Amino acid sequence: MIESLASLLMVLVVLALGPYVVAVMDRLVATAPRGALASDVWLGPLSRAAWLLTQHANATEAPDWQAWRLAPALYLALAAVGLALVPWSPTLIATDLVTSVVLWGSVEALATVVIFLHGWSANAVLPLIGAYRYVALGLSYILISMFVLIGAALPAESLQLTQVVASQESLWNVVRQPLGLPLFLVVGLGLTFWGPLNLADSTDLAGGTAAEVSGPSRLVWECARAVMLVAFSGIAATAFLGGWLGPWLPGPVWVLLKTLFVLALLLWLGQWLPRVAPERCVTLMWIVLLPLSFVDLVWAGVLALWA
């Protein structure tokens, strides 16, 4: 009982702190080599959030109000589901389903729907283009994600994330399946449309699905994106970096460190890579990455048979 309460608390804390941590880390990554650190790094995200709360939410011509207001909240809810799936220790986990890997897969699939809805419901041209573009991306990365995750589940012989971690006792999946984590990181960038895969909210669309959003709903949207990034990092740390496993420190601390590591890696990629042209992106996904994820799966399967 206490453990389930503690794990629930953990989800809420990450939900509340996640956006701030992501914003600060992103600023740190952006200014890292030249070290132009201002107090802005620490206070900036907070004052920006305060500004967005002060700003009024605008209207467009005949939007689908329900969907428009709900989409950011739903995306946040999906991110929260993702967070609830991350095991902090063998027992400290909010939702220990036997099919938690599949549930994460459905979070990814539903995220596509929600992001599409966010762009579609504004009833404006640029968000709509962003939304359609995102669907092409979303349908491409979901298959990759599925194969890579099945690969991670194979050595555990279970679709339960706690079992997936337990199976990495001798060797982490990042070593056992070297293709897994790099491919999964691409999925993460796609899921949060971050950096090179920001096809939904991109600069060529003046903000894409978020181009017509202001005020509190924009704040929720940005927070949801950040929390999704954290949730994804947590899942990646669990599935490939051995979750709570590690010497000296207690399990939850290891999960936290590994999550922050994956997060920093994603933010760094986001700062250093240009946005991939949508056509090139889809080609890359289907012609290069999808076959690579097949290879990853076959590799994992052969290893599992061998053992």
Partner 1 sequence: MAVSWLRQLAARSCVPVYPVWGEHDEALLATLVLSTQIELVDSPRHASVLLVVGEIPATLRDGLKHVHDQLPSPFAVVWFRGAPLIALNAPIHVDEADRLVDTLIRTHRELMLGQRDSASRLLPDEPPNPWEGLGDDGHGGEGMMGGTPYGRPMAMNMQDDLRDGLTLDSLTFRLGPFYPALPSGLCAEITLQGDVIQSWETRHGALPQRLAPVFYAARERPVPIAELELARARYHLVQLYRGLHLAGLERIARHALSLARQLSTASRLDGLRRQLVRSGIFHLAAMDGGQLDTEMAARLGGPAARAAGLDADLRMDDASYQRLGFRPQCRTDGTVRARWEQRLAEIDQSLQLARQAEPDGLHTANTEAVETPRGPWSAKPPQDASALLDQLLPGLEWDEAMTLIASLDSREVAETSGRANI
Partner 2 sequence: MEHSIFVDIAFLLLAVLAVVAGWRVFRTDSMVRASFFLLVSFIAVGAIMMLLAAEYLGVAMFFMMAVEMMVMALFMVMFMMNPAGLNPMMMVHQHRLSIIAGAVAFFILAAMALFSSFPADPLPAGLDPVRSLGHEMLGDSMLIFESAGIVLLATMIGVVVLSSHRGRYGAAEEGSVPPGLEPGGDPAGQPEKGESEGGHEHHHHHH
The binding site for partner 1 (CB under 8 A) comprises 30, 36, 38, 40, 43-44, 46-48, 50-51, 53-58, 61-62, 125, 128-129, 132-133, 195-196, 198, 202-207, 210-215, 218, 271-280
91 versus 283: smaller Cβ distance to partner 1: 283
146 versus 229: smaller Cβ distance to partner 1: 229
Q: What is the C-alpha to C-alpha distance for residues 255 and 161, in angstroms, rounded to an integer?
A: 13
Please work out the total of residues on this chain that contact partner 2, with binding judged by CB under 8 A: 27
DSSP code at position 277? P
- Residue 242's binding partner, choosing from partner 1, partner 2, none, with beta-carbon cut-off 5 to 8 A by kind? none
- Residue 55's binding partner, choosing from partner 2, partner 1, none, with beta-carbon cut-off 5 to 8 A by kind? partner 1
- Residue 120's binding partner, choosing from partner 1, partner 2, none, with beta-carbon cut-off 5 to 8 A by kind? partner 2
Kindly state the tokens that stand for 143: 């298959």
Q: Which of 237, 255, 136 has the alpha carbon at shortest distance from 188?
A: 237
List 24, 28, 64, 216, residue binding partner 2 (CB under 8 A):
64
- Residue 256's binding partner, choosing from partner 1, partner 2, none, with beta-carbon cut-off 5 to 8 A by kind? none
Type of residue found at 162:
T
Kindly state the tokens that stand for 221: 């949207």
- Residue 113's binding partner, choosing from partner 2, partner 1, none, with beta-carbon cut-off 5 to 8 A by kind? partner 2
List 109, 245, 253, 260, residue binding partner 2 (CB under 8 A):
109
CB 264 to partner 2: min, Å: 29
155 versus 195: smaller Cβ distance to partner 1: 195
Residue 118 near residue 145 (C-beta atoms within 8 A)? no
- To which residue do tokens 């600023």 refer? 27
61 versus 169: smaller Cβ distance to partner 1: 61
**Neighbouring residues of 287: CB distance < 8 A, sequence distance ≥ 6:** none
- To which residue do tokens 């599935």 refer? 239
104 versus 244: smaller Cβ distance to partner 2: 104
Per-state percent for the chain, helix, strand, coil, to nearest 5: 75, 0, 25
- Residue 274's binding partner, choosing from partner 2, partner 1, none, with beta-carbon cut-off 5 to 8 A by kind? partner 1
Residue 230 near residue 263 (C-beta atoms within 8 A)? yes
Residue 177 near residue 152 (C-beta atoms within 8 A)? yes
Residue 217 near residue 57 (C-beta atoms within 8 A)? yes
Please list every residue from 72 through 101 that binds partner 2, using CB under 8 A.
97-99
Q: Is 117 exposed, middle or buried (0-12, 13-18, 19+ CB in 10 A)?
A: buried
Quote the longest CA-to-CA distance of the chain. 61
Residues that bind partner 2 (CB under 8 A): 64, 67, 97-99, 102-103, 105-106, 108-110, 112-113, 116-117, 120, 123, 128, 132, 135, 138-139, 142, 158-159, 286
